[in-house]
Structure 1
């Protein structure tokens, strides 16, 4: 999804020269424009009095009027226009004095230009309006002045964004209020599903979000993206879930207090589930793991979980949707505890347990938290959160809580299958110490693989054999008097 444009009116933006003739570097520099650039207002006045041509421009098309707008000098603007400078003169790149004044939030300069006839409806490259730039910089008085001079409140730029969206994304609640009072369409949505409200929520701007709620936005409305990309939200995402995934926990609680459903899972996930990957994002190409969102406010993630449960969130809520590919953890039926175990997030799991989480509640595959902690559901070992030490700590804690070390899911997978998926040899050793019996776990899963064969590479995806894990499994088998198999068993058909 494309985010709100962050356009800077620099003099390298593509455009067309509207009022100044072509120039060459060999021509004499423009003394009037140079005086204004250096804020030499006395010299500027003398040059005007000497009838120096006011439309002279620097090589890029900047005139004295552009510089007067940049430095917010209404007196110079008035003198230049009175002397014949066109009020909407454009540089070689299509930038007008009003565009510069709006980009910098220069109210005095913009008001002078508007009163002298500048076009409030003009657009810069990308169809961005003066109102958008004023909204983004956050000058409510300038926004009012533009509207009073005919600016179109609901005009859209090239990506279909509006001034209200720019103001909401930047967090300018007063500008949001002015725009709404003047008829801004707060329900307008992009193909990505984002409205002004969702932009405010994603950025953590509580005051702007509150303005939009006060105007009539439904706090339980959900996003309906018409296009999909890596950055697009899931269909059904609510403002509450968006706030949680962005790390804005204080704002998320405010949304609940305004009526947001803490158990809403129309996106496929509820907030307590999402908290697991917010706290422990996938590793991707980063061995240390991707950083969690920076977020905002004074409420931490664990405090948020407690506050959300106090406001009605079901700590044992099981998801009603989900994938059915055995190459990853099946989501249907999963609880927040199952996700916390899967990400080896012991502090979160302990918080959930304190709040009443059931340590044995499984998903539709029969995957219990101890199986998920061991690694059942892992696809590519080094792309999931959780170090080997963190996994060991999580397993020890679940066993202490009464988790069953010899659980088996509906696909015939055990905790040692999980450790093989994770390629964690010390986890294999610890599981055996905790009572995982080889005669129980040395078996085919629905893929036709034993834990040893999984560690050797008989598994979905591109995987290199992990010799240390194979050796750990062999030690356990030999200690139990079982001769390790050196061949693959017949393959079973399975779809991924």
Structure 2
């Protein structure tokens, strides 16, 4: 994933980190690793990923270690589980593959199958004794991963078989929290229903807030001899994830109940354990009326989550242009940064939200604003292949030759990701086809190394040199990795 678990978008490695690992190492060392890797181990793992049962069994009979793994710690069981190869998963388990073996990040096959929504594989793994509440290095459980991706069947099955939904990640997120944050209504409903039955009981007022049941909510908050104290205690009562009834009402856009709650003393800026306020939730959900209500009642417009997201980040990332405009009119901070230095403009660009980008630029957001890794919104749009946002940014005079911390320009990134239309657009707007990274790579080096023939040919047509050298020339790099494309070079009278 590109951007963090922002109000929780799951924080994966940054663009810079990804590109740095791929390209900012000595290419001779990369080639050494590529060609020295055990062919048999690699072929075994490829067969597992492809679901080729006969081939996998053949390798196992030939003495391959069933638990052999790649550089990330992924073994045959992990790969088969991810792709949903039910028969192969069963075969590997019967042959002794460790059901709870973990990758370098601590993910088991059950984590991986749950994240991928492979319900049948999940059932097999659980029946074979997989730890249903195993936690990865960051504290993610299989239930958390299924809830994050809205895999309803998997969520139901895991809950029915003992998954503990009160287990939180290192950042304090529970499965319910991430489902709420991602806007997965079905997963939220299932988790809330389970809350009423299991150990993590959801207070009655939260249920009323969810259903927009003002009558029930009013009865629960009715006056008695100690009305003020009791009412304020109940109205700000939290779930295990730290969500109040107002958070729940904000998620569902239930303005009537939200108004009642606020009138009875609900804290408008009450923060869940991860720093999420009701205004973050409403902005993420795109409910303009709810956002107005919370702002009118004093909601903090620059409140930040644990990851540094403001309500404007949340609205921009989700593409809610009306909420973005409302927040900007109310003075939302344009230059607010997440922990990784991402601005609302970066997030709107990443989501291909053209109208949000327009609003932000109209309110004077710097078009070449950079992250901690010196990535501009144009870098982000190029990475994602978002043509419309790329063109809008270029029309607003974004620098097509902006350099990230590792020297990568948007053109390098487009070439790496095989974004042909974006690459052509960048060249049209003046992107340098001879731009060099910190490690001496031009865009054609990157395209050749990745094997993107169409990009290579387009760069050559636009005047890129096939002979510029780093460790090897671009064409030598492509020849070494993609021998079958030799004929394509010949029509350009190029030798390798």
TM tier, smaller: 0.5 to 0.7
- CA distance in structure 2 between the aligned counterparts of 1:130 and 1:78, rounded to whole angstroms: 20
- CA distance in structure 1 between the aligned counterparts of 2:270 and 2:348, rounded to whole angstroms: 26
- CA distance in structure 2 between the aligned counterparts of 1:259 and 1:214, rounded to whole angstroms: 13
Distance apart, 1:205 and its partner CA: 2.1
C-alpha spacing 1:115/1:131, structure 2 compared with 1 (3 Å) = same
Distance apart, 1:71 and its partner CA: 0.3
Q: Which residue of 1 aligns with 2:413?
A: 274
- CA distance in structure 2 between the aligned counterparts of 1:66 and 1:220, rounded to whole angstroms: 43
Give yes or no for the alignment of 1:374 onto 2:479.
yes
- Post-superposition Cα deviations, 1:270-299, rounded to whole Å, max 9, x if no partner, equal 2222222212xxxxxxxxxxxxxxxxxxxx
Which runs of structure 2 are paired with 1:379-398 in the superposition (5 Å)?
Answer: 386=481, 388=482, 391-393=483-485, 395-398=486-489
Distance apart, 1:361 and its partner CA: 4.4
C-alpha spacing 1:251/1:111, structure 2 compared with 1 (3 Å) = same
C-alpha spacing 1:124/1:248, structure 2 compared with 1 (3 Å) = same
Distance apart, 1:257 and its partner CA: 1.4
Indicate the RMSD between aligned Cα atoms, in angstroms: 3.1
Distance apart, 1:83 and its partner CA: 4.1
**Aligned partners of 2:335 and 2:365 also within 8 Å:** yes
**Aligned partners of 1:60 and 1:91 also within 8 Å:** no
Instruction: Name structure 2 gaps, 5 residues minimum.
Output: 10-146, 149-163, 169-191, 225-229
**Aligned partners of 2:368 and 2:376 also within 8 Å:** yes
Partner secondary structure for residue 401 of structure 1: coil
Q: How many residues align?
A: 308
Distance apart, 1:265 and its partner CA: 2.9
C-alpha spacing 1:96/1:263, structure 2 compared with 1 (3 Å) = closer
- CA distance in structure 2 between the aligned counterparts of 1:214 and 1:74, rounded to whole angstroms: 40
- CA distance in structure 1 between the aligned counterparts of 2:203 and 2:474, rounded to whole angstroms: 69
Distance apart, 1:364 and its partner CA: 5.5
Q: Which residue of 1 aligns with 2:254?
A: 106
C-alpha spacing 1:106/1:92, structure 2 compared with 1 (3 Å) = closer
Counterpart of 1:306 (choices 406, 424, 427) is 424
- CA distance in structure 2 between the aligned counterparts of 1:128 and 1:247, rounded to whole angstroms: 31
- Post-superposition Cα deviations, 1:367-393, rounded to whole Å, max 9, x if no partner, equal 433223223xxxxxxxxxx5x4xx331
Give yes or no for the alignment of 1:400 onto 2:402.
no
Instruction: Name structure 1 gaps, 5 residues minimum.
Output: 15-36, 39-56, 226-234, 280-300, 324-329, 376-385, 406-496
Q: Which has the larger radius of gyration?
A: 1
Partner secondary structure for residue 435 of structure 2: coil
- CA distance in structure 2 between the aligned counterparts of 1:133 and 1:197, rounded to whole angstroms: 19
Distance apart, 1:170 and its partner CA: 1.7
**Aligned partners of 2:460 and 2:466 also within 8 Å:** no
Q: Which residue of 2 aligns with 1:160?
A: 308
Which runs of structure 2 are paired with 1:282-297 in the superposition (5 Å)?
Answer: none
Which runs of structure 2 are paired with 1:466-481 in the superposition (5 Å)?
Answer: none
Distance apart, 1:149 and its partner CA: 0.9
Q: Which residue of 2 aligns with 1:90?
A: 237
More helix by proportion, 1 or 2? 2
- CA distance in structure 2 between the aligned counterparts of 1:167 and 1:67, rounded to whole angstroms: 25
Partner secondary structure for residue 237 of structure 1: coil
Counterpart of 2:217 (choices 77, 81, 84) is 77
**Aligned partners of 1:154 and 1:162 also within 8 Å:** yes
- Post-superposition Cα deviations, 1:248-271, rounded to whole Å, max 9, x if no partner, equal 232112211121122323441222
C-alpha spacing 1:69/1:266, structure 2 compared with 1 (3 Å) = closer
- Post-superposition Cα deviations, 1:282-340, rounded to whole Å, max 9, x if no partner, equal xxxxxxxxxxxxxxxxxxx32333333333334x3231x422xxxxxx42xx2x33332
Partner secondary structure for residue 373 of structure 1: helix
C-alpha spacing 1:58/1:119, structure 2 compared with 1 (3 Å) = farther
So what's the TM-score if we normalise by structure 1? 0.56
Q: Which residue of 1 aligns with 2:385?
A: 247
C-alpha spacing 1:247/1:116, structure 2 compared with 1 (3 Å) = same
Q: Which residue of 1 aligns with 2:280?
A: 132
- CA distance in structure 2 between the aligned counterparts of 1:96 and 1:265, rounded to whole angstroms: 44
Q: Which residue of 1 aligns with 2:61?
A: none
- CA distance in structure 1 between the aligned counterparts of 2:390 and 2:212, rounded to whole angstroms: 40
Counterpart of 2:468 (choices 354, 362, 374) is 362
Distance apart, 1:124 and its partner CA: 1.8
- CA distance in structure 2 between the aligned counterparts of 1:337 and 1:12, rounded to whole angstroms: 50
C-alpha spacing 1:357/1:95, structure 2 compared with 1 (3 Å) = same
Partner secondary structure for residue 302 of structure 2: coil
**Aligned partners of 1:69 and 1:98 also within 8 Å:** yes
Counterpart of 2:293 (choices 145, 169, 175) is 145
Partner secondary structure for residue 334 of structure 2: coil
- Post-superposition Cα deviations, 1:452-494, rounded to whole Å, max 9, x if no partner, equal xxxxxxxxxxxxxxxxxxxxxxxxxxxxxxxxxxxxxxxxxxx
